[in-house]
Structure 1
Amino acid sequence: MRKTAVAKLVSAVALTAAAVTLAAGPALADPPAGTTPAATDIVGVGSDTVQAVFNQFSADYTGTPKLYSWDATGTTPITTKTGATSITRPNGSGAGIAALEGNTKTTVDFARSSSALPAGAPTNDWYIPFAKDAVSWAANTGGNAPTNLTTADLTGIFSTCTITKWSQITDIPGYTGPATAIKAFLPQTNSGTRAFFLSVVGAAGSCVQPTLVEENEGSNPVLTDANAIMPYSVAHYIGQVYGGHGSGTDVQGPMTVRSVNGIAPIDTTNHVITSAFSTSAFGRNVYVVVRGTDWNAGDAHATALKGLFSTTGWICSNATAQADLVSYGFLHLATCGVPQHH
């Protein structure tokens, strides 16, 4: 990212930090009970990482057609819109994008994605960034993990399996770990957080635990182990811990987010992702994915999509939406609403 873009990003966060309390009321989880979105409403599925802020968007957006967002987990199948054929609930960025690709606007209008445009994506998949996040690692509070790991350490733990015990970590000054086995956990395979984290540290190795955990949630009982470690969205963690948005299973539990390469991921005074971490290899954008043919159709549906997701759309330009982003831990993005596609 260019320095000017970083400056704008930091400035935007500073200006909006005071507006965090503007996030209105309790966010909706799925459409309200007894409500099925209309065929013309804008409906999304997919990523766990951004579902909470999208639930808040759905509560705060007063335009028409309405905005709805189905959570990554819950009862399945789901009937996303009036008249739509029921589909298996998509859990994660990959599953959400697959649902977008496999259906039309009568069922799904957009996918929430915490992964960027991949090299082999279909030309009709248009990725529209709307905020900045970062992915760090989290470990059990009071457990055996240090407060900092290097990228090389994370590669050894999650990918090459050259570090299987805490005592094998020798590059962290002042840390002497016990000779107990590290238990490295990853989210399910459709998770965008999993895909992004492994793109930085390397492909998952055989030493990763066979139990898959829901991304960005510390509520799984396996994570009470003193040796547990997992990747974690920094924004989602900030939303849970500082924004007061954690509830049910969507809580940090015993897990705390830690530093990488000596860079702290969270400014604990202002409760934002640090600039140094967001611009490191562990910083990422988050996206909505739409069909390019829908975006360019020139009809009422295209107008509704752009009214929400374009550079001048509600999410990128409305003060309440921008305050929602900060409340849920995300940073503002200079390129908000600029489509990316092949």
Structure 2
Amino acid sequence: MSFGVYIHVPFCATRCGYCDFNTYTPSETESSYAAYLDSLERELELAAEKVGLTAETVFVGGGTPSLLGADGLGRILGKIRGTFGLAKDAEVTTESNPESTSPEYFAGLKEAGFTRVSLGMQSASTPVLKVLDRQHTPGRAVAAAKEAKQAGFEHVNLDLIYGTPTETDDDVRKSLDAVLSADVDHVSAYSLIVEDGTAMARKIRSGQLSAPEEDVYADRYEIIADRLEEAGFDWYEVSNWAKPGGQCQHNLIYWRGGNWWGAGPGAHGYVNRFRYFNVKRPERYNQMLAEGTLPIDGSETITDEESHFEQIMLGLRLKEGIPGEWVGEKAQGVVDKHVRGGVLAEEGGRIFATDAGRLLIDGVITDILAAE
């Protein structure tokens, strides 16, 4: 079973209006970057002793990891290498905000041993970026992607968000033009989710913005899928497309039910059916590790039945699908119904979504699990 290490960096320069991640701007936390890095190193030491597995993938996310600079991120990777150890040809990814990157930054990441960069682009439309409260200019994400490639990164991802209030079909097409001009090998595209408690949710509730519509999401998804697939990208998870060899191996660990240790404030992890989450506040995180205690705030042991349901739920979002034997006799009738409807297919002992079925897969999964 594959094993990865996820690092959560809880810092952002500003807060985006749609974001409800466990992140903190300078006015929201007393923790410094240095204190966080010291604590993170202690967590990695304790975790490596507990787990005893070698990392095949590393993913540094957030938050805004690029605020730590290439030196800070290199320090994290060095600690992982010295505790868990890194497998030969390990995939090592960091997310980065285009505004806090530079050619020197990417060169430093490459020298430290990173193999993959994921850049938050969201949109190439100035009005859409303004609604999302993003700070970067429309062209900066593409420029950053090109800088990463010039630094020697073969694997570069651009993240898109679609369905933002005020966005038009032309905005989406403009964003896709920009993505393709960057010559990256991976694209993620996620529909906007308006989370309670965010600034965007408050604006929608007050009538300042209109709520996204399901039909709009579907139309935008089809525009994105058609354009990327015409350009040589292949979908391998409902919201992710890659050129050959460009799939994110770390995320495949999640989707295939593998193991990972999540380190950092608010990080979640899953190792051998043990699922846990860390304390959220950086100050409490630092304190617990200073006391020599893993900063776990809650945990549970996943049962066989829960694991089975999760494997179906995640696996059917992948193009490869799931083994047919995972579906019980009670649910086979549901599968047969969706095969007849052209939403699912069965071939080679596997069950998977058709291209036409991708937009409906969440409902199909619900049907199958209800029958199980």
**Fold similarity call, TM over 0.5:** no
**Which structure has more RCO (C-alpha within 8 Å, separation ≥ 6)?**
1
Flag the structure with higher strand content. Answer: 2
Which one has the bigger helix percentage?
A: 2
Task: Tell me which structure has the larger Cα radius of gyration.
Answer: 2
State the TM-score, normalizing by the size of structure 2. 0.25
